[in-house]
Structure 1
Amino acid sequence: MKKIGFLSFGHWSPERGSQVKTAQDVLLQSIDLAVAAEELGLDGAYFRVHHFARQLASPFPLLSAIGARTSKIEIGTGVIDMRYENPLYMIEDAGSADLISGGRLQLGISRGSPEQVIDGWRHFGYQPGEGETDADMARRHTQVFLDALQGEGFAKPNPRPMFPNPPGLLRLEPHSPGLRDRIWWGAASDATAVWAAQMGMNLQSSTLKADETGEPFHIQQARQIRAFRNAWDEAGHDRTPRVSVSRSIFALMNDQDRYYFGNGSKDGDQIGVIDDMRAIFGRGYAAQPDKLIEQLREDEGIAEADTLLLTVPNMLGVDYNAHVIESILTHVAPELGWR
């Protein structure tokens, strides 16, 4: 059994053929897709976060709106770039969104992905400290976020406050119990996966990672997941961690599917350089269900994970994306033992 969710990059563009032409379109359609996915029985609705781009950027209003319109589906990110975040203000936003959803938030965070602009986090008022890299700054923000998310008081109260205070040091409000256990780290390397385990965060592993051994992507990803779980056990945490992987998977059920994806499946991994890192990009899958099942049985990364996030082509509209999700849930997942 696996939890299955969708992962939307939240693109919008006025170009011909797009069903998502404006920022308003992508926000409203993201809500509608989450509602439709819940009705289909999907487990999660996850969204990418990118700044300075025609994509989703500020996740908490969207997550809160979805939380108010749904009742069961997990709501998450994959991932929030911590270089851009005020970790204390983020706790207030996250706590509010989690309480609105009844404790369904699954918050993916990380050092972030390549940007649309040069050092975009500087425009948000952040810069690395002396001797720090931007990745160090992201982890520093993360440490502050995780510590304060515990809900312990740390701020000295004003002796003459506007409103009465509870006794002792004050914490950030609203506090959402349990949210600390639902923080995920998006790791591109084995070392950052181990660090995430030591910090008590769940693991998100995408379709891209550092090419550390030259082996196929899914084998390297499976090794990364095992390294994460071993480090988790060594750290002695008192709960079982979760691990998600993302994939582009399309069951070719009709002429429209074949038109969009019949020639678009990548049969092999790709190698590239991203942020001065040699990276390996995992293949996509697009085939008739019987062939798709056969291919997916060989994917060791999926086999190691407890959660699978299906990347969806959000610019094709809600109805088509609901069809993509339903095809996987109905014709593929049961045969693989995911359902």
Structure 2
Amino acid sequence: MRQGDDNSLAAEMKREKIAEIEEKVKSEFENKYQVLKRLGCGGMGCVFHVQSTDESGGDYALKVLDKEAYRKNRLLYKQEANVMLNLDHPGIPKMIDVTEDDDYLYMVQEFITGKPLSQIIREKGRLEAGKISDFMKSVASTLSYLHHQGLIHRDIKPDNMILTADGGITIIDFGLARKKEQIDEADKRVYGTLSYTAPERFNRKPGTVQTDIYGYGAAMYQLCTGKKPENMKTEPWHSYQVMSEHLSETMPSVAGEIIKKALAVNPRHRYLSFDAILWDLSHENKMRTIKDEELIRQAIEVFLIFSTLLFIGLISL
């Protein structure tokens, strides 16, 4: 079989699978929801925009996971539902219901109206500096809540951040989220999008609070610069230097310094928590004063050294 025929067959199989899932959704939920639109499909299933058929007429996202697609990782397919069922935060979609049959797992979630930050970056290039701090605080606050619940997200990127009509940011896609202390199959490989993957993950180090902080830094870097984060797989120190220079050019502020620290190659040099990030963001004026004082101190030291050398030179004449 030629490559083109092989690709066509794979595409046809995918169409058949999607059609099967759509029919399954309609038959399983015809008395509860009307399917308005298919939002997307991937290797693990599909997501639909549905509307309740009762008087409320509420909008929801119905996520369908194909159990067969998880045959090598059977323990993972319920992970997202288990993580989200007990979460209650305005920056996280509320899980409404979870059901399953022999073939599929169905998750009904709050439907979030808005645009992914990745789309906004594509449209605008980069965001205005005045909005960056607010966005950084919004995302950091949500991730702080998640970490305090004993969970990590493991897939932080602009695609998974939705800017809503009220100006807030909602974090979506908890398919890779897990408990902090739990090591799973996903930790044995490099998961997620490479540009937002912390350098230690390329050495198969398990996901941690610090890997979420790196993903946060990489996402905020892209908001500030309009540039895709550097891949940290081969030359992480060089990649960090490139990103640091871009930040200095486009975001020469406390927010830029916070992002640099979140992007540190060594996880021990990053922030310990999102609470620490929030503290720095809420004390920008104080941080700016400290930075200015440090620059003044360094300038004085350089001046004194130069003056001393000049004085010694004059004496020796």
Taking structure 2 as the reference length, the TM-score comes to 0.27
Higher relative contact order (CA 8 A, sep 6+): 1
Taking structure 1 as the reference length, the TM-score comes to 0.25
Flag the structure with higher helix content.
Answer: 2
Larger radius of gyration: 2
